Chains A and B, each alone.
Chain A
Amino acid sequence: MSTDTLVEYGELLTRYEPVIGLETHVELGTASKMFCGCSTTFGAEPNTQTCPVCLGLPGSLPAANAAAIEATIRIGLALGCRIATWSRFARKNYFYPDIPKGFQTSQYDEPLCTAGHLDVEVEGETYRVEIERVHLEEDTGKNLHVGGSTGRIHGADHSLVDYNRAGIPLVEIVTRPIPGAGAKAPEVAKAYVTELREILLALGVSEVRMEQGNLRCDVNTSLAPIGSLEWGTRTETKNVNSLRSVERSVRFEMRRQAAVLDAAERVVQETRHFHEDTGSTSSGRSKEEATDYRYFPEPDLVPIAPDEAWVEELRAGLPELPAARRTRLSDEWGISPTEMAWLVNAGAVELVSDTVAAGASPGDARKWWLGELARRANDAGTDLTELAVTPAQVAELIGLISAGTINDQLARQALDGVLAGEGDPSAVVEARGLAVMGDSDELVAAVDAAIEGNPDVADKVRGGKVQAIGALVGAVMKTTRGKADAATVKRMLEERLISS
């Protein structure tokens, strides 16, 4: 859909350097909404989770959700923020049907948390991302545009609104501009969101499912000539709703803006929309100025003044954070930071940890999740966590291999069964008859048959060409459809052909 001129990525880096910034919205996983008792369950029938408060009906009054405020402070603490001793909600006024009240209850100049940081690692190098603020607001309703050929707003006859989402607590985490990432800017942006997501998961404050919109990113990108004292004009890309898209959107904007600057034109400061299908961005609505929102303190809510005892209690209750956890696990598993980085990139740290906890060795657990299971996920186009196999089942599979019940090849067949919903590995091995043959009559027969069926090969082996035995092993494996243990077969063949 893009007709934009783009400059080759490697080429633009010779002339320009990027500055990026991210605004991340996180839907908290509270049971009730931010200012009323409506349920927050995802996927409910339209407009079944609304009440006078979240519909903005006259006379209704909001009451702040204590769990949402605690969650916001905990996020701030995990990001090393200063927690405000005095914080207020503010009305952000604008007319758009996704907000029935005519304003969004947000925070403006008195957010709950400020001045934090998050260190992220890209290819062994650490980048410090400064956090400007973490504030609490409410989510908006969902618009459905009707009548347009593409289901988008352009050409739509009218819109239909579902207010179930309106009023769900939403935390906004804003970084300061991130200069100095150079060629790595797209990866740093992705690494930041990835690490932030890990922290939010560890805190248990949100389900952070990007495909459900629990975590949504606006990505700011600007370019300036190398050595320039001033940063360039930035664009803000919305609709960036997957980790991969975060990286792609930065890369695309860098390439597009480089072409604009090369043509001696100006980058327009604007909102742009990211398109998953093409990986491109397009111009969106022009942004209203902050003063256009006519922010003012929310008169219906009293200030939040977290005292030190409360904050320290929350700090003491923080879980082990992902970075510390990775360091500890690297030590426990005896792996290098690079090997740990592979696990992080594959989204496999928790899976491996759970698999180890279920009894597998760290080496086996890593081998399966990064090898066979990563291949399966890749083939299916999903994340590892989406695979229909649990860490406990993987540990069981590994246990069956260690016990000699199955070999790697049979284990892959057993995995087929588990993924197809046939039950736990032991049950699949039993039902599909996958167990490795022991020194059984059937195996003896197969070994004898292989020797009989390949007299030339057998003679070669007898005559001292020991490596020829591989062909006989292969023949036995074929007759037994992979169920024999190759080492056992080799030993049995040797007994018959060599040791006399």
Chain B
Amino acid sequence: MSTPSPKGQLTRDEVAHLAHLSRLAVSDEELDLFAGQLAAVLDAVAQVGKADVADVPPTTHAVPMTNVMRADVARPSLPRDVVLAGAPAAEDDRFRVPRILGEEA
């Protein structure tokens, strides 16, 4: 998937590819609908490209800090029953997920 072309050029195929990467089931009608809607979103965001930034240094991070680190100390984890209580399904003390198709672990 390459960077979507600007200006309403987002194709159905690109949306289908994004949907696949996001593991979303999108119908044919929705592909058309989303292609249009996403193109509008991209167009809106693309307006920042109009700003004249020739004299503005790139922002590397929203917070002007570096080297924020924590010491390597182990702390207690969550109790397992609490952890698995948030899982859609659990089995043998593990998270149970639907079978993974077409990919190798």
Interface residues of A (CB under 8 A from B): 30-32, 36-40, 45-52, 55, 57, 63-69, 86, 88, 93-98, 143-147, 152-153, 156-163, 271, 273, 284-285, 288-289, 291-292, 294, 297, 299, 301-306
Chain A's closest residue to B101 (CB) is A153
Is the beta-carbon distance between B86 and A159 smaller than 8 angstroms? no
Q: Restricting to B72-105, which residues have a CB under 8 Å from any CB of A?
A: 72-78, 80, 83-84, 86, 91-100, 102-105
Flag whether B56 is at the interface (Cβ < 8 A): no
Is the beta-carbon distance between A57 and B86 smaller than 8 angstroms? yes
A46→B72 CA distance, assembly (Å): 22
Is the beta-carbon distance between A47 and B94 smaller than 8 angstroms? yes
B91 interface neighbour in A48, A69, A160, A285, Cβ under 8 Å: A160
* Other 18 A-B pairs with CB < 8 A, given A37-B73, A302-B63, A302-B68: A32-B73, A32-B74, A36-B75, A64-B68, A66-B69, A88-B60, A95-B21, A143-B105, A158-B96, A158-B98, A158-B99, A159-B96, A159-B98, A159-B100, A160-B91, A161-B97, A162-B94, A163-B95
B99 interface neighbour in A57, A93, A156, Cβ under 8 Å: A156
Q: Which 10 A-B pairs have the closest CB atoms?
A: A37-B75, A67-B72, A160-B94, A66-B69, A305-B66, A39-B74, A161-B95, A63-B70, A97-B97, A32-B74
Specify which chain B residues have a CB less than 8 angstroms from the CB of A48 in the assembled complex: 77, 80
Count of A-B residue pairs with CB < 8 Å:
151
Is the beta-carbon distance between A46 and B93 smaller than 8 angstroms? yes
Specify which chain A residues have a CB less than 8 angstroms from the CB of B68 in the assembled complex: 63-64, 301-302
Chain B's closest residue to A272 (CB) is B104
Flag whether B23 is at the interface (Cβ < 8 A): yes
Known: A284-B104, A299-B62, A303-B60. A66 touches B75 (CB 8 A): no
Specify which chain B residues have a CB less than 8 angstroms from the CB of A304 in the assembled complex: 66-67, 69
Flag whether B61 is at the interface (Cβ < 8 A): yes
A and B contact pairs by CB, cutoff 8 A, 11 listed = A38-B75, A39-B77, A63-B68, A64-B68, A65-B69, A66-B69, A95-B21, A96-B103, A158-B98, A159-B98, A305-B66
B100 interface neighbour in A31, A63, A143, Cβ under 8 Å: A143
A67→B60 CA distance, assembly (Å): 24
B contacts with A: majority SS: loop
B66 interface neighbour in A31, A40, A143, A303, Cβ under 8 Å: A303
Is the beta-carbon distance between B69 and A157 smaller than 8 angstroms? no
B80 interface neighbour in A37, A39, A47, A160, Cβ under 8 Å: A47
Taking the closest CB of chain A, its distance from the CB of B61, in whole angstroms, is 6
A254→B91 CA distance, assembly (Å): 43
Taking the closest CB of chain A, its distance from the CB of B80, in whole angstroms, is 5
Taking the closest CB of chain B, its distance from the CB of A90, in whole angstroms, is 12
A50 interface neighbour in B63, B78, B91, Cβ under 8 Å: B78
A63→B1 CA distance, assembly (Å): 31
Chain A's closest residue to B79 (CB) is A48
- Most-contacted residue by chain A among B84, B97, B105 (CB, 10 A): B105
Taking the closest CB of chain A, its distance from the CB of B46, in whole angstroms, is 17
A49 interface neighbour in B23, B65, B77, B98, Cβ under 8 Å: B77
Known: A32-B73, A46-B92, A305-B66. A153 touches B100 (CB 8 A): yes
